[in-house]
Amino acid sequence: MVEHIKRRSFLAGLAAAGVGPQLGGSGRAVAVGSGGNGKLGDLKITKAEILQLTGKNKRRALYLKLHTNEDAVGLYGPIDNEAAMFVDRFFKQGLIGQDPLAIEAYWDKMFRASRHSRGSHYIMALSAVDNALWDLRGRFFGLPVYRLLGGSRKKVRAYASCLGFSQEPSALQAKARQLKRQGYRHQKWFLRDRGPSHGPEGVEADAKVVRLLREAVGDDVDLMFDAFWEWDLQYALAWTRRVEQYRPRWIEEPFQTANLDAFIELSRETSIPVATGEHFYGRWDVHKFLKADAIMVVQADPEWCGGVSELVKMCTLASVHGANVIPHGHSIHAALHVVASQPVEICPLVEYLIQKMDTYYHFEKHQPRPVDGMLELPEGPGFGIELDESKIADVRAVSWQQS
């Protein structure tokens, strides 16, 4: 089922709700309790919809929009296709009539609503709902999400995530130097071309990448490495022994998340901090890894792990264990606001996937872009998402409901 929306009326609706471009950069703060009889408890969700935006260049993106019986709306995206489908099938109807400010109990209700809630697409969809509720809450109170969470950091340091760049030696070194000149003090490179089947030669080649980068950037840039869960313990041990002299800040996801024992063993054997978490679903996964001393860097993704609400709890858990939380950067909005809400000792960085982020926020007026290696927090309410009318050729509500 696809419900077409007249573009003019959709954009007018966004404007009325403080989302549209006519309102300028900061949007409009909806007076607390405005409308109705002015009581906080009277705010209710009246509609949830997945909006598919299509650009003049045929580019598409999905956003979750929540409507209420007052002016406040919640908007979050782009969201993954799988998450959108599950929101539509499992969460959309249940949201009607809910108090959007009562997030904690509602998160728990959603989590208990399915025996399969502990992972995968279900909790990705739950994350989208949670993030849209946080945006709604921010717009209702007229505050950015990071301020609602108790934060005050106006800027957060971003690390350059270098997926997709050439690793031919001269190109690799030139790119690393360029990123350093652009102000990135932290760079993450990906070791995904080789693995256990390549034996000692593979280890040597993956160690050479580290050496070339260290030579290129000198000692004042942190270097991180992501193995894309392709290694086994022997390969990881050989590589870490070979590269400890180059002081990597972390080795990320050397194994699949299911292989807790390998993470424990590697952490015991190397001085290089071990990182993982983009496939953590819920605080329980984080607790399991931290209490086993398996990792020092938690990389949960607020669009996959349970949303802003859950990532904040993970930060508390990490603080107990002296670990960092540096969220996975498949997107920016939710991660940026949570990081900005936390002490820099717990959340020092956000990931900025350079190639992906270049176009990921195509439909938004304020696309997050680091300057001198820093990302500025938006001043607008909620996550500061403002759709750009000039980029949108078509808007429609999409559904995966079975007829």
List contacts with Mg ion (CB under 5 A): 226
358 torsion bin: left (phi>0), alpha (psi -120 to 50), beta (else): alpha
378 torsion bin: left (phi>0), alpha (psi -120 to 50), beta (else): beta
| Helical ranges in 142-297 per DSSP H | 145-148, 169-181, 199-217, 233-243, 260-269, 283-291
Q: With respect to Mg ion, which residue has the nearer C-beta, 149 or 275?
A: 275
Q: With respect to Mg ion, which residue has the nearer C-beta, 69 or 259?
A: 259
Instruction: Copy the structure tokens of residue 116.
Output: 């399969």
Task: Return the bridge partners of 54, or none.
Answer: 60, 394
What is the residue whose two structure tokens read 């024992």? Answer: 261
Q: With respect to Mg ion, which residue has the nearer C-beta, 226 or 386?
A: 226
Least Cβ distance, residue 36 to Mg ion (angstroms)? 45
Q: With respect to Mg ion, which residue has the nearer C-beta, 80 or 226?
A: 226
Least Cβ distance, residue 273 to Mg ion (angstroms)? 14
Least Cβ distance, residue 396 to Mg ion (angstroms)? 33
Q: With respect to Mg ion, which residue has the nearer C-beta, 206 or 226?
A: 226
Q: With respect to Mg ion, which residue has the nearer C-beta, 49 or 301?
A: 301
Least Cβ distance, residue 6 to Mg ion (angstroms)? 41
Least Cβ distance, residue 84 to Mg ion (angstroms)? 23
Q: What are phi and psi of 32, to 5 degrees?
A: -60, 125
Least Cβ distance, residue 305 to Mg ion (angstroms)? 14
Whole-number Å distance between alpha carbons of 377 and 383:
9
Q: What is the DSSP string of 168-202?
A: SHHHHHHHHHHHHHTT-SEEEEE--S--GGGHHHH
Instruction: Copy the structure tokens of residue 282.
Output: 């819920």
Residue nearest to Mg ion (CB): 226
